Structure 1
Amino acid sequence: MKMKTISDIDLLMIGKTGNGKSALGNAILKRKKFVSRSSSSSVTKQIDYEVSEYKGKVIKVVDGPGVGDTRLNSEGSVQLVVQAMEQAMAANTRGYHAFLLVVRFGGRFTVEDQDTIAFLKNIFGKDFVRRFCILVMTCGDNFEREAEDTGITFDQWCSEQKGVFQELLKECDYRVLLFDNVTRDEEKRNRQIDQLLHIVNNLQVQGYRYTDENFELAQAAREKAIVESKKPMIREEILQETSLILQKLEEVRQNFEREEQIPSLKKLLTRCDELIKTLQDQDKGTGALRDLEESVVSVRKSVDEAIRVQTTVAEERRRMEAKEKEMREKMEQEMQRQRQQFEEMMAQQRKTEEERREMEKELDKKRREMEEERSKAREAREQELIAQLAKERELFQKQSQELQKAYRDTREKADGGWLGKVVGFVRKVALLGRYLGPSVKASTCKQRCIKGTMSQYITDIDLLLIGKTGNGKSALGNAILKRKAFFSKASTESVTTEISYEVSEYKGKIIKVVDGPGVGDTRLNTEGSAKLVLRAMEQAMVANTRGYHAFLLVVRFGGRFTVEDQDVIQFLKSVFGQDFVRRFCILVMTCGDNFEREEEDTGITFEQWCREEGGVFQELLKECDYRVVLFDNYTKDEVKRNAQIDQLLCMVSNLQARGHRYTDKNFELARAARHRAIVESKKPEISEKIFQETSLILQRLDGVKQNIHDQREVPMLQHLLARCDSLIAGLRLEDGGTGALLELDKQVSVVRRSVEEVIQIHSFLAEERRRREARESDLRAQHNLQLQQQQQYYHNLIANQNQAHQQARQADYNNAVQHQQQASNAQASSETREQQLQAQLEEKKEEVQQQTQELSQVYTETRAQSDQTWIGKVVGFVKWVWGKIRGN
Structure 2
Amino acid sequence: MSKTINLLLIGTAGNGKSATGNSILGQEKFATSADFTDAEKFVKKGSSVFEGSTINVVDVPGIDTDNKNEDVFKKFQTLVKKAFDICQDGFSAFILVLKYGNRFTRQEHETLKLIRSTFGDDVIKNQVICVLTHGDMFKADMEQDGDEVEFEVWSKKQEGAIQKLFQECNYRCILFDNKSKDKSTTYEQLRKLIALTCETLTYTDDLYHSSESGRSDLLEEIKAPEQNRQIMAIIDTFRSEMKQIEQECENDSSHQIELLKNLLARVKDYENCLDVPKALATKSLNPRSMLAVLVSELKSRTKLLELDRNSAPEPTKDDKEKITENSSFKRHENKRVPIRPTPKKDPDTAEPKVSDTAERQCINLLLLGTTGNGISSVGNAILGKPRFPVSSNSKSSAAEVALDSRDFDICTVRVIDVPGIDTDNSSVDDFNQFQRYVDEAFRKCKDGFNAVVLVLKYGNRFSGQDSHTVKLVTGTLGNSVLQKNIICVFSYGDMYQEDEIITFKDWCYRQVGGLRDVFKKCQYRCVLFNNKTKDENKVIEQFENLFSLTKQTQKYSNRDYKAANRERKGFENNFFTKDRIQESLESFLQIMIEYEEILNQSQEVDSQIALLKRKLQTLKSHERKISGYGEQCQQVLLPLVRQLTETIQRTIEEIDSERPTVFIRNSGNRRTNDSNVSRYSTTRDTRALIGEHPNESHRQKSTTCCSSCVIL
- Scaled by the length of structure 2, what TM-score is found? 0.69
**Alpha carbons 1:502, 1:513 under 8 Å: kept:** yes
Secondary structure at 2:527's aligned position in 1?
A: strand
Q: Equivalent residue for 2:463?
A: 562
Distance 1:172 1:580, change over 3 A: same
1:580 aligns with 2:481: yes
1:161 aligns with one of 128, 151, 158: 158
CA deviation after TM superposition for structure 1 residue 202, in Å: 2.9
Distance 1:719 1:544, change over 3 A: same
**Alpha carbons 2:416, 2:441 under 8 Å: kept:** yes
Q: Equivalent residue for 2:198?
A: 201
Q: Equivalent residue for 1:488?
A: 390
Secondary structure at 1:106's aligned position in 2?
A: coil
CA–CA distance in 2 between the matches of 1:235 and 1:759? 29
CA–CA distance in 2 between the matches of 1:233 and 1:622? 32
2:208 aligns with one of 208, 215, 236: 215
CA–CA distance in 2 between the matches of 1:704 and 1:642? 74
2:11 aligns with one of 15, 19, 42: 15
CA deviation after TM superposition for structure 1 residue 63, in Å: 0.6
CA–CA distance in 2 between the matches of 1:106 and 1:306? 48
**Alpha carbons 2:407, 2:413 under 8 Å: kept:** yes
Letter in 2 for 1:609: W
Please show how residues 242-391 of structure 1 align to structure 2 within 5 Å: 290=280, 297=285, 301-302=289-290
- Unmatched segments (≥5 aa) in structure 2: 239-264, 296-358, 659-712
CA–CA distance in 2 between the matches of 1:159 and 1:720? 44
2:365 aligns with one of 463, 469, 473: 463
**Alpha carbons 1:475, 1:486 under 8 Å: kept:** yes
Q: Equivalent residue for 1:666?
A: 560
**Alpha carbons 2:402, 2:417 under 8 Å: kept:** yes
Letter in 2 for 1:29: L
**Alpha carbons 2:387, 2:404 under 8 Å: kept:** yes
**Alpha carbons 1:500, 1:514 under 8 Å: kept:** yes
Q: Equivalent residue for 1:633?
A: 531
Q: Equivalent residue for 2:379?
A: 477
Q: Equivalent residue for 1:432?
A: none
Letter in 2 for 1:100: I
2:419 aligns with one of 517, 536, 552: 517
CA deviation after TM superposition for structure 1 residue 631, in Å: 1.4
CA–CA distance in 1 between the matches of 2:446 and 2:475? 20
Secondary structure at 1:301's aligned position in 2?
A: coil
Q: Equivalent residue for 2:324?
A: none
Secondary structure at 1:654's aligned position in 2?
A: coil
Q: Per-residue displacement from partner, 1:546-594 (whole Å, max 9, x unpaired)?
A: 1001111011111111112211222222322232222211111111222
1:91 aligns with 2:79: no
CA deviation after TM superposition for structure 1 residue 279, in Å: 7.1
**Alpha carbons 1:502, 1:512 under 8 Å: kept:** yes
The structure whose residues are more often helix, as a share, is: 1
Q: Per-residue displacement from partner, 1:163-188 (whole Å, max 9, x unpaired)?
A: 11111111111111111111111111
CA–CA distance in 2 between the matches of 1:744 and 1:734? 12
- Scaled by the length of structure 1, what TM-score is found? 0.56
Q: Per-residue displacement from partner, 1:44-74 (whole Å, max 9, x unpaired)?
A: 222111001122211111111111166x773
Letter in 1 for 2:523: D
**Alpha carbons 1:15, 1:21 under 8 Å: kept:** yes
CA–CA distance in 2 between the matches of 1:683 and 1:611? 34
**Alpha carbons 1:475, 1:488 under 8 Å: kept:** yes
Letter in 1 for 2:561: F
Distance 1:305 1:618, change over 3 A: closer
Q: Equivalent residue for 2:494?
A: 593
CA–CA distance in 2 between the matches of 1:516 and 1:113? 24
CA deviation after TM superposition for structure 1 residue 270, in Å: 11
CA–CA distance in 1 between the matches of 2:544 and 2:283? 59
Distance 1:740 1:555, change over 3 A: farther
Q: Equivalent residue for 2:246?
A: none
CA deviation after TM superposition for structure 1 residue 230, in Å: 4.1
Q: Equivalent residue for 1:613?
A: 511
Q: Equivalent residue for 2:226?
A: 233
Please show how residues 641-720 of structure 1 align to structure 2 within 5 Å: 641-655=539-553, 660-671=554-565, 695=590, 699=594
CA deviation after TM superposition for structure 1 residue 724, in Å: 9.0
Q: Equivalent residue for 1:502?
A: 404
- Unmatched segments (≥5 aa) in structure 1: 1-5, 246-266, 281-288, 308-456, 766-888
Q: Per-residue displacement from partner, 1:823-854 (whole Å, max 9, x unpaired)?
A: xxxxxxxxxxxxxxxxxxxxxxxxxxxxxxxx
Q: Per-residue displacement from partner, 1:632-668 (whole Å, max 9, x unpaired)?
A: 111111111111111111110121xxxx321222222
Please show how residues 18-97 of structure 1 align to structure 2 within 5 Å: 18-68=14-64, 74-97=69-92
CA–CA distance in 1 between the matches of 2:235 and 2:578? 22
What is the number of equivalent residue pairs in this alignment? 560
Alignment root-mean-square deviation, CA: 4.3
Q: Per-residue displacement from partner, 1:178-235 (whole Å, max 9, x unpaired)?
A: 11111111111111111111111233xxxx2000011101223223444444443332
Q: Per-residue displacement from partner, 1:708-758 (whole Å, max 9, x unpaired)?
A: xx9x9xx99998998699557524531154x46666546525635755997
Greater alpha carbon shift after TM alignment, 41-50 vs 676-685: 676-685
**Alpha carbons 1:276, 1:296 under 8 Å: kept:** no
Letter in 2 for 1:43: A
Q: Per-residue displacement from partner, 1:467-503 (whole Å, max 9, x unpaired)?
A: 0001111111111122222222222111112111111
CA–CA distance in 1 between the matches of 2:459 and 2:129? 23
1:551 aligns with 2:452: yes
Secondary structure at 1:461's aligned position in 2?
A: strand
Secondary structure at 1:103's aligned position in 2?
A: strand
CA–CA distance in 2 between the matches of 1:68 and 1:145? 29
Q: Per-residue displacement from partner, 1:11-47 (whole Å, max 9, x unpaired)?
A: 0110001000001111111111110112222222221
Distance 1:97 1:147, change over 3 A: same
Distance 1:694 1:60, change over 3 A: closer
CA–CA distance in 1 between the matches of 2:472 and 2:267? 42
CA–CA distance in 2 between the matches of 1:560 and 1:55? 36
CA–CA distance in 2 between the matches of 1:17 and 1:584? 31
Secondary structure at 1:489's aligned position in 2?
A: coil
**Alpha carbons 1:467, 1:568 under 8 Å: kept:** yes
CA–CA distance in 1 between the matches of 2:288 and 2:12? 41
**Alpha carbons 2:581, 2:633 under 8 Å: kept:** no
Distance 1:228 1:698, change over 3 A: closer
Letter in 2 for 1:162: E
**Alpha carbons 2:69, 2:226 under 8 Å: kept:** no
Letter in 1 for 2:644: V
Q: Per-residue displacement from partner, 1:400-450 (whole Å, max 9, x unpaired)?
A: xxxxxxxxxxxxxxxxxxxxxxxxxxxxxxxxxxxxxxxxxxxxxxxxxxx
Q: Equivalent residue for 2:136?
A: 141
Distance 1:172 1:181, change over 3 A: same
